[in-house]
Structure 1
Amino acid sequence: MPTAGEPTTKRWAWAGAAILIWAAVAYLIWRIAGALAPVLVPLAVSVLIAAALRPAARWLVGRGWPRALAAALLVIGPLAVLGVLLVVTVDALVRGGGELVDALRDGVGTVRDWLVHGPLGLSEPQVGAAVDNLVAFLGDQGERIVGGATATAAAVGSFLAGLVLAVFVLFFLLYEGDRIWVRLLAPLPESVRTRIDRGGRTGFASLGAYSRATVAVAVVDAVVIGAGLAIIGVPMVIPLASLVFLAAFVPYVGAFVAGFVAVLVGLVSGGPVTALLVLGLSVLVQTLEGEVLQPFLLGRMVRLHPLLVVVSIAVGVVLAGIVGALFAVPFVLVVRAMINQFWSNPDPAP
């Protein structure tokens, strides 16, 4: 005869089996995504850019432009500008990468001497191991930066294939993105379709706002930092400003890393006073970004808590390296917007 505890035991067994099944499905999806990364990354880039350019496409179509012509213009124009900026940025980093890493090594050595012989009076074993690991890491990164051109040349075929795919997908997302979305949802039941449609559109709009704001913040940060470093007299202004521009696409963490590098270069080139001036400049720019630019450009609906941002970036780095760091925050932003919209009204009208 069944005992009183059997229903509870069965429920726990089914719950455990469901968890194992979902874990297995998630692992399978992750392995498939890893195998399809050369396709999925260009697709993700296309969606990110399409979300940013969607208001411009609607504006052009509203002014009487044919959809195909508006989409082509928005693919060629902004991508050409972005391509020039990226070429200049990467070229500046490649050309100044070796000198920048040498300056960082000297800066780390100066900090080590201060920690040992300065007011803190730390012992050499306390500082030596950590500093040696950091110097070795900087050396590895310097070799990667200097050899970046060779690595890019070796992978030029894969890069061009991804670029062609991204441009092709971007054109059709701008040309008939709404119709593609409707066709994707067509097989779903009507009630579920309506909620997913609302959540997807809200997430896409949030992604567009985030993309446009991030690009604007990156440009402002790079220009202000570059001008400030030039006034202070810090060398390697273009590589440092380029680093700030790229780091702005990784919220909080990127700004901290770029500011730390700029302070070390200022310490090596001009001493403690210059380093303090660069630190003050970095704090000023980050305050301008956090208190003025982001609230004005993003608004409350798009902003995420700093703890969630940092944890998302950390998870992204562990799972997918630099690509994971770049896409972690947009992914969390879209998922949050979709969940909020999906569950805000459980029984929406068709």
Structure 2
Amino acid sequence: MSDISTLPMYMRRAQFDPVPELAEVREKEGITRVTTSFGIEAWMVTRYADSRAVLGDAERFSSARQTFFQPPGASEEEIAALRAGNLLAFDPPEHTRLRRFLTPEFTIRRMRRLEPRIKDIVEQHLDAMEQAGSPVDLVQSFALPIPSLVICELLGVPYEDRADFQRRTGRLLDVSLPMDERFKLQLESRAYMTDLVTRIQADPGEELLGMLVREHGDDLTTNELIGIGNLLLIAGHETTSNMLGLGTLALLRQPDQLELLLKEPERIDAAVEELMRWLSILHASLARVCTKETEIAGQTIKPGEVVVCSLPLANRDPAFMQDAEGLDITRGAPGHLAFGHGVHHCLGAPLARMEMRIAFPALFQRFPKLRAVTPVADFRSFHLVYGVASLEVAW
């Protein structure tokens, strides 16, 4: 399966860019009907202001009412167990309750404690690349293992288990696979996390899951701990690893931007934000269900109808910023939606930013002559998190 015309409309890209017909929707109608990766009909919102309004209104656009990714034939009890702890499947006040337990662990101050360890992890992988000699696959040697190791240490997941959970996650997010296979992978991921949580409950350590057991063991059920662990493990390595791989390729393809970053490394914070905006590796927001009749871009949305926001289109909306189609690391892209918006704004954003702020400069300082070996990149077109499956580089 390789024809992008078989993809949901909001997932279609031409390398770094949404396909031209998507931009046409944004410029003309602003909203259109699409079939999602779960096979359901939805309204696709394309403009920045409209997307921000949808994402910021959890009361009118509900996450809790979605029923899209549930194994067929599952009982209500089984579905409730699968949803437990998954912050993305709840609205306030239940979402607020769950997030309250996690927020202290993801503050900028708390993340700074991790900074020396992240620097060590990055340097170790650069050393290994240098010793192996060029060419190497940057995804396998750098972009994927660094965030995987960080999230493993943070959560208390044995790093030796990474090959299995990376395989499961990669396939779980692959929309070219049949739904029944993806449901099976979802259950496998849950079984793995169930075993891990059981072990941590018996002997909680200093890891995040251990902290939750020690400090909030009476407030969180075992199913909620499993759901929290699953969500953080998947989100914690998939997103940042794809940003590191795709972001490196973007900078290599735009040497003027890379040269500016090397000359003025203090621009790294702004560069990370602009790469997040320009690449928008999440094709769309999670689908939300409309709860009361409302209007978006002149279209009436009825209660029960599903809405998704195209993040690449919103982040490149000319009404959001000038020359939005261009990559410009000097502007910093304040207000971009790559981390979402509203109550579901990415909890791990401070960690992701820190990993990128450390990893990108370290990579290019170590290998200032870094180059992509092949002119054609292996883009992950059929994955819910966009990126490159491999990136052979030399120096």
Q: Place the TM-score, normalised by the shorter chain, in its bin.
A: under 0.3
Choose between structure 1 and 2 for higher RCO, CA contacts under 8 A separated by at least 6 residues.
Answer: 2
TM-score by length of 2: 0.24
TM-score by length of 1: 0.26
- Asked which structure has the greater CA Rg, the reply is 1
Return the structure number with greater strand share: 2
